[in-house]
Structure 1
């Protein structure tokens, strides 16, 4: 097939801007950027950062392989990555997940640790596919990291002939550099988000490898997002979105190809990114709140005078062990953790009540009609006026007005 025939039979592979961002998508995009900036500036301890990154990578690896039919559950993935053995019948699926996780770590090491944030090139695509397919044997239907040498199809979609694959990969990489301006050093986060999603779609349309294209395309998307400043603790967000809406994911791919228009796919993906970022932000906020509350308890007990060290420790531990955000009777409270069970089981109820009354006096616990809860209201700012209901941004504050590159939504 000549290049002229290729352009005739694959008119969606134009390597030109073929999308419009409506007002809702632009607003969602602006919110994504705001949350990314907030997460990037939020102080998180190295220990918590590492824990959140581990969870994000586990979720991302599970989600991207699940889209391709891998049936390992979240719990099985956690066991696998903790070093536990899975049944022999799950060995291949376990290897797929390990490969996906290794590929995410490869991208993270490259971008975050080594600072290698170069524009996308064919070598990167081959490296990602090589890791995705390594050690999978004959069940991986191709040579990992090498462009395919035959014609392939995905469902009803017949991918371009293999003799044009390397040309198409190079053309895509060149177009991404020119269209989205990363190499100029002035690419904004919102533009990078659009580049990541567009690159993912074009990669799947080219289908350059014999196997593992879906996972590789989502890793490419992850690379561009991470390069743009997406916090690694949100690494799983888009893969998880695609996994939880698989039929919609596939439908948007097909419609984008038929219409030669990425507008709807971009709206779908940006909405999923926003939802995932909001969930991540809430998770981080809750962890930060918990850490701050524990720190406050330690501060209070620094000034607390108690004759017996054992009583001091017992009361402080009671305050620390009390779950946040729930109410308990005295009997329920001492069963909320193994430590409290060991400490208070068999003790006289009056002694338990005395401890609660004391930490209540310290303003760490509140009581209402025999129900106790951690008095975390202390951490809520008391100097702010009541919050007004949030509404949509005025037109002058939408991303359209602030970013000329995105404001121009006319189709090319």
Structure 2
């Protein structure tokens, strides 16, 4: 008998799917459906690039923040955009992000160039090596090499180091053998990614960077299964947003009476919530582009100075979340400041009235707001339906 069989009996490399409750199967189906929606959304390339960048930054920050990275989301975005120089005392935080982004990009490049491939031990070692590249580590930690010493994380004593190589081989066989029935591939891929994360963290085969490596494995499995790139970062983001619950669920997952199922339920629910938010962001971007096109269509063939001014004003108001007072119009954007230079307040009033007549702007308590909801064809029906109840 190997040591881990006595000390870590939960490392049994099995998952009885018959124990999954009906609500979890339903939620998995919704996750698969929403991922299909994300994959099938037509987007302007610049908008798609923006959304990809947003979730790349979220994913990179999330997986490092769980391990203690203290950069804010805005700082992470600015750093990845090359717009933030960190002081020497915080340079390592940027290095952690760089390592994760490089690992993300490598996974994407390998899948796009060579297609999906089964996981291998060497792949896991390479992931860990990339995660820890150039960071200051304990003397006993060698990036990409299995640990040769006991490790305790919080209250959890990780699997015996002498069994790590054996356990990693079993892990690879288990995950690569996790096949789906016909038509169930997306649902099983989510289960596979989550259970791979859980088992890898339990084994903890490397001296450092195991959590980050586990989340890279999740990403690899999801992207290999055809999930859109932005969705691949949602699990990491969920774990980070609910960090205390994440650790609690990891700790409880060792309970033979439903602990694993509880962790899967927690992860899938967070995945679903992240997809809801992601689809809202995508819908908002589509709405914005559609409105811009609609405004331009309303001014088609109208090129007078007044029409040009009104078109710019309509577009500027559409970028505002709240109604704007007439006196703030001039300073709303640099373009408007230039267009209204030397004009009286009467000109602004005429322009707003004309936009209101065109149905592009509406007045609310002597303030003005874009009427973007005009192009949401079914919103009035839903609104009236709710009022009639």
Aligned to 2:312: 317
Q: Does the alignment pair 1:375 with 2:371? A: yes
Displacement, 1:335? 3.6
CA deviation vs aligned residue, 1:98-144 (integer Å, no higher than 9, x gap) = 11121112122222x32531122212211111110111144586111
In 1, distance between residues paired with 2:372 and 2:341? 26
Any conservation in 1 of the 2:373–2:379 contact (CA below 8 Å)?
A: no
TM-score by length of 1: 0.86
**Following superposition of structure 1 onto structure 2, how do residues 265-344 of structure 1 map, counting pairs within 5 Å?**
265-304=263-302, 306=303, 308=304, 310-323=305-318, 325-344=321-340
In 1, distance between residues paired with 2:338 and 2:381? 44
Q: Does the alignment pair 1:27 with 2:26? A: yes
Aligned to 2:145: 146
In 2, distance between residues paired with 1:93 and 1:386? 48
The structure 1 residue matched to 2:200, chosen from 185, 203, 216, is: 203
* Equivalent residue pairs, number: 381
The root-mean-square deviation of aligned C-alpha atoms, in Å, is 2.3
Stretches of structure 2 lacking an aligned partner (at least 5 in a row) = none
Relative to 1, partners in 2 of residues 1:138 and 1:328: Cα closer, same or farther, differing over 3 Å? closer
Say which SS state the counterpart of residue 362 (structure 2) adopts. strand
Aligned to 1:93: 93
Displacement, 1:343? 3.0
Relative to 1, partners in 2 of residues 1:315 and 1:147: Cα closer, same or farther, differing over 3 Å? same
Say which SS state the counterpart of residue 95 (structure 1) adopts. helix
Displacement, 1:70? 1.2
TM-score by length of 2: 0.91
The structure 2 residue matched to 1:12, chosen from 10, 17, 30, is: 10
Any conservation in 1 of the 2:323–2:364 contact (CA below 8 Å)?
A: no
Displacement, 1:295? 0.6
Any conservation in 2 of the 1:57–1:235 contact (CA below 8 Å)?
A: no
CA deviation vs aligned residue, 1:179-199 (integer Å, no higher than 9, x gap) = x216x9865111110110000
Pick which of 371-380 and 120-129 moved more: 371-380
The structure 2 residue matched to 1:360, chosen from 320, 343, 356, is: 356
Report 1 or 2 for greater relative contact order, CA contacts < 8 Å, sequence distance ≥ 6: 1
Aligned to 1:60: 59
In 2, distance between residues paired with 1:371 and 1:58? 36
Relative to 1, partners in 2 of residues 1:50 and 1:140: Cα closer, same or farther, differing over 3 Å? farther
Relative to 1, partners in 2 of residues 1:57 and 1:333: Cα closer, same or farther, differing over 3 Å? same
In 2, distance between residues paired with 1:53 and 1:115? 22
Aligned to 1:244: 241
In 1, distance between residues paired with 2:135 and 2:12? 34
In 2, distance between residues paired with 1:195 and 1:258? 19
Pick which of 225-234 and 64-73 moved more: 225-234
In 2, distance between residues paired with 1:278 and 1:199? 24
Which stretches of structure 1, 4 residues or more, deviate above 6 A after TM superposition? Answer: none
CA deviation vs aligned residue, 1:347-405 (integer Å, no higher than 9, x gap) = 2011111122222232222235533221223212159964878xxxxxxxxxxxxxxxx
**Following superposition of structure 1 onto structure 2, how do residues 21-170 of structure 1 map, counting pairs within 5 Å?**
21-83=20-82, 84-111=84-111, 113-138=112-137, 142-170=141-169
Aligned to 1:351: 347
Relative to 1, partners in 2 of residues 1:382 and 1:11: Cα closer, same or farther, differing over 3 Å? closer
In 1, distance between residues paired with 2:201 and 2:192? 14
In 2, distance between residues paired with 1:45 and 1:52? 11
In 2, distance between residues paired with 1:383 and 1:215? 43
